[in-house]
Amino acid sequence: MTYVESYINQISNDEIKNTVLKTIKNVVPKYIQKFSFREHVTGLLLGNVQSGKTGQMFGLISAAADAGFKLFVLLTTDSVYLQNQTFKRAIRDLIDFEVCDENDETRFFETKLRKPTLIVLKKNTQILKTWKNNISSSKYCDGAPLFIIDDEGDAASMNTKVNKNEQSAIYRHLVGMKKLAASSIYLQVTGTPQPLILQTQKYSELKPSFAYYFEPGFGYMGGNFFFSDPESYVIRLTKETEIEEIKNEDEYISEGLQKAIFCFLVAGAHIMLTGGEVCNFLVHPSIKIKAHNSVRQKIAEFLNTLTQSDEEEIINEQLKDAWLDMQSSKPDIKPYEEIKDYILTELLNETITSENDECKINLITMNSKSSQDIAYDKGLNIIIGGNSLGRGVTFDGLQIVYYSRTAKTPQIDTYWQHCRMFGYNRDKGLLRVFISPLLWKLFRDLNISNQALIDQIVNNKLDNINLLVPKGTRATRKCVVKNDTLIDIVGGANYFPNYPKDDKTDILDELLKSYNDTQDSYDVKIDFLISILQYLESEQQKEWDNKNIISCLQALNSTNNKKCKLIVRRERDIKKGTGTLLSPNDRALGKSYSDKTVLTLYRIKGQRDKGWHDKPLWIPNIKFPANIAFCKTK
């Protein structure tokens, strides 16, 4: 039996099994079976957040073992929760491998690679340094290949000192570990590849040379389910003021959080009454630990008040509202009286004072100050935290989410990783996300941006990708991308060539023969704009790169914002070097279409005394929708 066959046999879910087999079929022949064992290759395995990336990784590890690789390093973020979760799963699923924890140095040296060996490590400076030395001392890589799988490869691995022309410690150790071997495959795995896409070969040895996107399996609930427009039935909009109320120690528990708690009680009661094992509720109020503690205390006090007899009327009213809400999407929910009785007699029959109390509802704070032995895989759990609630940590049975975290300039990759509600193991009818209108709009825009990126990778691989960046956000943290390599195109601004070529006028005349000056503007499709722009080049690519403009349009074509306007003007007598060339009326007309892409085309007479070549020519001026921007590297 091959290693792949052995691993596949461990997967009980047929849908997940099929997605893993599809990934193996598409990746292995191109990048593993054809590996020369004389090179160092970096690749990207892209999946949606919480779409089953670990299963795909294990499938490719097994396939690589069948291809002759013996030593594997699996990197997780610097999180005890995630490293432990990944290690335990590797022990369970890779039964024919020797799986080593970061403390298993003795076992590592004793294996002698008699069977494939996988080391599961956190991306921690000291741990990486220690294991780089262990691998070097073992001589296992002398003349042999190394396979490194970097889970959440966009986090921690990047060189955070690239703009100082230095190397950060973790980046240096990872590059050093890769070079211990005669050859290597370094596979980055993530659902947020923005910083990886923005790397350049000149400044990063971790720039991926190939990418593969694996589609989620049947039943996956992701961005298109939660953050659709119009809003999904699972979304419950809270007041904007709750963002501050939730963090204010002097305030009582906010209205939206109260409603979220009642929905959690109803969902948890139904799940337990129908034989379920777990119902989780995630509260993500802030990055600050102080806020986590404050919110936890508010929730504990609120739950305690529900046990008091004088609160019975409030319970009846709000609990019934929550039950009716859930019933709207879960018609077969347990009857209200049964739900209410279970909540009052089973869930709220004990006072909650600390995380160590014996009670049916567990209140858990999950951050850098928390205990490392946190269990949330059974029972009813309310989990409050910030950064620890992202980046690969999974929450089975996550039914309710309350999210109020804000930032002055949200980073796309960071915020998208906060979407722990994405995944498979949820009851669709009992899902609820409590979020403010502005935050809902942010995540809706991030979903559009994410889909545009996936479509570009699927259609164009890694060639000429433009990241679509919603207004007010940035693609990733500034410290991991070389500043002078970035190209930004901002919506609402006019872009045009100062030195347009005049060699494609006849072709453009034919394409535009149906469009004239008698009409202010035309509604056209993005594909038509692309067909025109391919013939509109500049003598100086730095000031007008039509291929880059086209890639922006291709990114936009993956979104709902496909509205385009074409403005055509002929017989213009304009001198070269007069800026955007637009007349006041045409400038105002283009500006009035603030939510659309506007391409204005002027056919210039091109007289020599005006600075041209005595040949007519077309000059473009393009303006993208005002609420977006695009970002790529040179």
Q: What is the mean pLDDT of residues 304-321?
A: 78
Reported as a single tens digit per residue, the pLDDT across 529-565 is 999 999 999 988 778 999 999 999 999 988 877 889 9
The enclosing H or E element of 417 equals helix 412-417
Query: What pLDDT, on a 0 to 100 scale, did the predictor assign at position 372?
Result: 59
Predicted confidence band of residue 307 (pLDDT cuts 50, 70, 90): confident
Here the tokens at position 590 are: 């283009």
The alpha carbon of 498 is separated from its chain's Cα centroid by a whole number of angstroms, namely 38
Amino acid type, 129: K
Query: What pLDDT is attached to residue 392?
Result: 65
**Mean pLDDT value across the chain:** 91
Rounded Cα distance, 50 and 195, in Å: 19
User: Crossing angle for the helix pair 546-556 and 526-533, nearest 10 degrees?
Assistant: 170
- For residues 374-407, b (16+ Cβ closer than 10 Å) or e, as one string? bebeebbbbbbbbbbbbbbbbbebbbbbbbbbbe
Residue whose structure tokens are 């959690």: 264
Q: Which one has a higher pLDDT value, 98 or 310?
A: 98
Q: Whose CA is closest to 108, among 83, 81, 141?
A: 141
When computed from its CA atoms, the radius of gyration of the chain, rounded to whole angstroms, is 28
Angle at 92 between CA 91 and CA 96, to 5 degrees: 70
The pLDDT of residue 358 is 46
Provide the pLDDT confidence category of residue 316 given band limits of 50, 70 and 90: confident
Q: What is the pLDDT, as a whole number, of residue 225?
A: 95
Separation between Cα atoms, residue 173 and residue 194, nearest integer Å: 22
Phi/psi at 621 (nearest 5 deg)? -140, 120
2: left (phi over 0), alpha (psi -120 to 50) or beta: beta
State the DSSP string of 58-101: HHHHHHHHHTT--EEEEEE-S-HHHHHHHHHHHHHH-TTSEEE-
Q: How far apart are CA 458 and CA 430, in angstroms?
A: 33
pLDDT at 116 over 70: yes
pLDDT tens, residue by residue, 56-74:
999 999 999 999 999 999 9
How does DSSP classify residue 209?
A: S
Residue 198 CA neighbour count, 13 Å, CB half: 30
CA neighbours closer than 13 Å in the CB half-sphere of residue 113 = 15
pLDDT range class, residue 371, cuts 50, 70, 90: low
Per-residue model confidence as pLDDT tens digits over 591-633: 999 999 999 999 999 999 888 999 999 999 999 999 899 998 8
| 347 confidence band (pLDDT: 50, 70, 90) | confident
Find out whether 404 and 386 touch, Cβ atoms under 8 Å.
no
Structure tokens at 516: 């004239």
pLDDT recorded at residue 301: 87
* Confidence band of 171 (pLDDT split at 50, 70, 90): very high
Whole-angstrom CA distances from 259 to 236, 263, 329 are 9, 6, 16
What pLDDT does 128 receive?
Answer: 97
**Cα(46)–Cα(53) distance, integer angstroms:** 8
CB-based burial label for 312 (10 Å; 0-12, 13-18, 19+) = exposed
User: For 171-193, what is the mean pLDDT?
Assistant: 96
Residue 170 and residue 155: Cα distance in Å, rounded? Answer: 11
pLDDT band of 185, cuts 50, 70, 90? very high
Confidence at residue 568, expressed as pLDDT on a 0 to 100 scale: 96
Give the residue among 409, 423, 433 at the shortest CA–CA distance from 284: 433
The Cα–Cα gap between 108 and 102 comes to 10
What tens digit of pLDDT does each residue of 36-52 get?
A: 999 999 999 999 998 98
Residue 508's pLDDT band, with cuts at 50, 70 and 90, is very high
Q: In this model, does residue 55 exceed pLDDT 70? A: yes
CA dist., res. 577 & res. 557, Å (int): 32
Q: Looking at mean pLDDT, say which of 154-158, 172-176, 311-315 comes out highest.
A: 172-176
370 pLDDT exceeds 80? no
Sequence letter at residue 312:
E
